[in-house]
């Protein structure tokens, strides 16, 4: 997090705590649906869709709702590994870090400032699975 000149700081990544996961499987596609809460933002939740079709990695932030919607495109190999790792550590805390192309403003209490709906590109991501 970078310090800003006023009471706001710039949040360069979003850390998600995974609450639940489902796999939608049809003849033509497989999609992992994540319901997440935030680790570094005070309120709200995030719906994250992961699939292996080539799409933009982006997050949509609503100005009038305490929810974000994110889309990640990964390789088929990573998709299969995600199913395995998320399924093998069922009762343990799992996190996903989304590294953003532009920072979001957050105050010292963890509340996000969003003036209007916005889309932000996700540059990279990191999955954390507890072991042992």
Q: Which pTM does this prediction carry?
A: 0.88
Find the domain containing 64 and state its range: 2-128
Residue range 71-127, pLDDT digits in tens: 999 999 999 999 888 887 666 789 999 999 999 999 989 899 888 999 999 999 999
Q: The tokens of 36 are what?
A: 């997440």
Nearest to 97 by CA among 7, 26, 12: 12
Residue range 14-69, pLDDT digits in tens: 999 999 999 998 888 899 999 999 999 999 999 999 998 888 999 999 999 889 99
CB 51 within 8 A of CB 31: yes
CB 78 within 8 A of CB 62: no
Domain count, the chain: 1
């Amino acid at each position: 997090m970078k310090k800003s000149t006023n009471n706001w700081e710039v949040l360069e990544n979003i850390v998600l705590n995974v609450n639940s996961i489902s796999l939608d499987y049809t003849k033509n596609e497989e999609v992992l649906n994540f319901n997440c809460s935030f680790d570094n933002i005070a309120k709200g939740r995030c719906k994250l869709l992961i699939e292996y079709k080539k799409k933009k990695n982006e997050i949509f932030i609503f100005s009038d709702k305490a929810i974000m919607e994110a889309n990640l495109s990964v390789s088929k190999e990573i998709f299969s590994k995600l199913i395995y790792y998320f399924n093998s550590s069922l009762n343990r805390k799992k996190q996903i870090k989304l590294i953003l192309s532009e920072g979001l403003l957050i105050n010292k209490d963890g509340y996000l400032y969003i003036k209007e709906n916005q889309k932000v590109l996700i540059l990279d991501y990191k999955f954390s699975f507890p072991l042992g």
